[in-house]
Amino acid sequence: MQRLIDAIHLEQSLPTSSPADNNHVMTRNFAVESFRALIKAEPTVTPPPVYAKGILLDQAVRYALQSAFPKAIMNLRLELIVYPARNITVPLYGADTLDELNARIIEWCSREACKSYSSASQKYHLNGINQFCGTIYTRTSMDYIYTYLGNGINHDLCLRFVGEMDFNLNKLKRAIAQREGK
């Protein structure tokens, strides 16, 4: 349960003086008691569920994420903080399918997997992507993927890459060549 209180309404509801004497300014105790009374009077609100159903509720998927990225944590804004030391995050809100989740992992982790200044960070992200997505990419192939799919630059193509193309880099290269008219 969560209580939502409108601060402006709360301020407007507070009297500016104690009821016993209109000439005195409100004391601290009177203010605290007034706040308590207003808080109790506020209706209790049940926040809507973020996910009534979804891939993130699947225990096997969460275990696979934790195995692939052992340092990862998930915050309350549904961001997967893959590498807390460098604050590498993957937005998970709305990722209701495994393809969508795989696409976001590719989009938001591919840069660190090939361009990070730290070789440990590159290795961590590359291994995590390969383990979670079931791929065997190298840094060179990840650099190509990052160039065309990284940072959500072409989300639709990334979804096709993880779904229709089944992570096949040659199919991705052909799709990009067709799009560029080569």
Output phi, psi for 83, to 5 deg: -140, 90
pLDDT at residue number 21: 56
State pLDDT tens for residues 9-62: 656 666 655 555 555 555 666 666 766 766 666 554 444 444 445 677 778 888
Cβ neighbours of 52 (radius 10 Å): 7
Q: Give the Cβ contact number of residue 83 at 10 Å.
A: 20
Q: 3-state DSSP call for residue 147? A: helix
First-to-last CA distance in the chain? 58
The residues, any chain, with a CB within 8 Å of residue 23's CB and separated by 6 or more, are 17
Burial-class residue 105 by CB neighbours within 10 Å (0-12, 13-18, 19+). buried
Taking a C-beta distance cutoff of 8 angstroms, is the pair 143, 111 a contact? no
pTM (two decimals): 0.69
- pLDDT digit string, tens, across residues 96-146: 889 999 999 999 999 999 999 899 999 999 999 999 999 999 999 999 999
Domain borders along the chain are 2-45, 55-180
